[in-house]
Amino acid sequence: MPESITAENLMNNIMETISEGIHKQNSGSLFEEEISNPVASKFNRLFGREQPVHKVLGGGKSADVLLWRNKKISGSVLAGATAIWVMFEWLNYNFLSLACFSIAAGLLVQFLWSNASGFMNRSQVEVPRIQLPEEWFGNAGIAIGRELNRASRFLQNIACGGNLKQFVIVVSGLVAAAMIGSWCNFLTLIYLGFVAAHTLPVLYEKYEDEIDGFVDKLLNRMTHHYKNVDARFLGKMPTRKYWGKKHE
């Protein structure tokens, strides 16, 4: 009788051990899934983004074009920009010649369209007229003026704010931009920005987890190096308050 009780107890212990092992394995798999998805726990989204890329870009037709929702339209826009850049940069077209040839071609098309009815002995066809709304120019001017005033206020606040660190960073950025501008002309810079706007967002949307992780690590390293430079050099520079005290 004691041997049967011992055997039963042994079987119960074995079954309990197996059930506990299965429970731990299931809980461990859930924990591994949380680790394998480190997006929310290990790093933040680029630029503090909380919405999808499509909504960040406006969520309209422009966002559809930038994210290649319609490949024909996006490809046509990028091909048109490339053709314009090739004409001006490689074929040495100038804006005045291209504008005159384009207007002449448009006038020729309207002339043939308006006189085609006379050649074919049909009733006269009304040719559509092209006219741009005046509100577009007013809104564009207001938007450009607003952005220019905002940039001017920002730069003047940096210059007059007395923060030497921000002043050095902004001036260094302007010098770097001037060096980049010396390597290529303004049209090429605009074209490169246009190409970047039509390629980087769609690549980021496709590989956002990998890019966010890489940028987060890079920012952490840059922050670490900046703290070291700040502690050794920038923190020891005299500030505006110190200059005022010394002058007094």
What pLDDT does residue 5 have? Answer: 45
Range(s) of the domain holding residue 211? 207-237
Is residue 120 in some structural domain?
no
Please state whether the predicted TM-score (pTM) of the whole model is above 0.75.
no
Q: What is the DSSP string of 116-178?
A: HHHHTT-PPPPPPPP---HHHHHHHHHHHHHHHHHHHHHHHHHHHS--HHHHHHHHHHHHHHH
Is residue 221 in some structural domain?
yes
Is residue 220 in some structural domain?
yes
Is residue 116 in some structural domain?
no
Is residue 174 in some structural domain?
no
Is residue 230 in some structural domain?
yes
pLDDT digits (tens, 9 = 90+) for 179-231: 887 888 888 888 988 999 899 988 988 888 888 888 888 878 888 887 887 77
Count of domains for the chain: 1
Is residue 226 in some structural domain?
yes
* CA separation for the pair 193, 158 (Å, rounded): 26
pLDDT digits (tens, 9 = 90+) for 125-143: 677 787 888 888 888 889 8
Is residue 51 in some structural domain?
no
